[in-house]
């Protein structure tokens, strides 16, 4: 049975002061507080601005027990420039490598948008990107359902890249909820199921969702299934509005009988 680590996508939310962090907690204290709650965190600031090695090492030193997963910068997934992406990949690789050297890198997340279609040019690009970042444990999230086919799965297995298992609203054009192990790492992202606001302009409303006990019980079974085929299962809740991700993550830990957060988690 694999190790199962549960956390949230992001931790630096001012609206968590009160619901999650004690009143009066300052921004510089968020990560330390978070590390008392969960053994792993998915960093998403790195999508919006390129991370720096010194910055990531400082985060590690602030909470040394945490295992970090980190989202790739948008220049590698959403705003790809054929002339410059290799330079961006090298910069990203240099920034993240210290986490790997310290043994606290869970995965690099490559999250592609719906517009990243399954065609020869994009398949070749993905192969080149994976090779460029190949020293890292990689997880790929596709928002376009065209990628969910046997050819993709075989290619990911060959490269030991994890296919992200999604939980999101079942709406037109959404990808399937497919739990398939393609590497020793299983990676599960839970975005909530807010159908009405998913395609709206308010991205915060998209993740305003609280999973029910019944839904969490079903998710727990999915996690157990993935744990049979993998060595490490990383689960991240992205329904972060008002600290709902924290509430759901703690409830899932209880359902899976994972116990308290501690050094044994890693």
Q: What is the pLDDT of residues 47-89, one digit of tens each?
A: 999 999 999 999 999 999 999 999 999 999 999 999 999 999 9
Q: Which domain holds residue 186?
A: 3-265
Q: What whole-number distance in Å separates Cα of residue 98 and Cα of residue 81?
A: 26
Q: Average pLDDT for residues 2-26, to the nearest whole number?
A: 96
In the chain, pLDDT over 70 holds for what percent of residues? 94
Task: Residue 243: count other Cβ atoms within 10 Å of its Cβ.
Answer: 19
Q: What is the pLDDT of residue 207?
A: 82
Packing angle, helices 120-132 and 85-101, rounded to 10: 40
Residue the block writes with tokens 């890249």: 161
| Mean pLDDT for all residues in the chain | 93
Packing angle, helices 53-62 and 85-101, rounded to 10: 30
- Of 106, 112, 161, 116, nearest to 139 (Cα)? 161
Q: 87-135 pLDDT, tens per residue?
A: 999 999 999 999 999 999 999 999 999 999 999 999 999 999 999 998 9
Q: What is the pLDDT of residue 263?
A: 42
Helix (H) or strand (E) holding 8: strand 3-9
Q: 182-210 pLDDT, tens per residue?
A: 999 999 999 999 877 666 655 667 788 99
Whole-prediction pTM? 0.94
How many domains does the chain contain in total? 1
CATH number of the domain encompassing residue 107:
3.20.20.410
């Amino acid at each position: 049975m694999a190790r199962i680590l549960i956390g949230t996508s992001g931790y630096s939310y001012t609206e968590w002061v009160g619901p999650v962090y004690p009143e009066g907690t300052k921004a510089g204290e968020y990560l330390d507080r978070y590390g008392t709650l969960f053994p792993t965190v998915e960093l998403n600031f790195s999508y919006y601005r390129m991370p720096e090695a010194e910055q990531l090492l400082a985060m590690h030193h602030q909470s040394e027990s945490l295992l970090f997963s980190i989202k790739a910068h948008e220049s590698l997934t959403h705003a790809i420039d054929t002339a410059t992406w290799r330079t961006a990949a090298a910069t990203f690789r240099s920034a993240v490598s210290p986490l790997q050297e310290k043994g606290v890198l869970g995965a690099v997340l490559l999250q592609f948008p719906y517009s990243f279609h399954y065609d020869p040019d994009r398949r070749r690009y993905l192969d080149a990107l994976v090779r460029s970042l190949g020293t890292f444990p990689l997880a790929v999230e596709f928002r376009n359902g065209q990628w969910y086919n046997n050819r993709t799965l075989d290619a990911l297995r060959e490269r030991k890249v994890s296919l992200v298992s999604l939980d999101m609203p079942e709406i037109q054009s959404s990808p399937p909820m497919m739990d398939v192990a393609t590497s020793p790492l299983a990676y599960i992202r839970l975005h909530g199921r807010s159908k009405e606001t998913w395609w709206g302009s308010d991205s915060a409303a998209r993740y305003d969702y609280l999973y029910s006990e019944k839904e969490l019980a079903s998710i727990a079974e999915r996690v157990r299934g993935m744990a049979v085929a993998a060595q490490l299962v990383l689960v991240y809740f992205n329904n972060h509005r008002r600290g709902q991700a924290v509430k759901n993550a703690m409830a899932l830990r209880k359902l899976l009988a994972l116990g308290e957060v501690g050094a044994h988690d890693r």
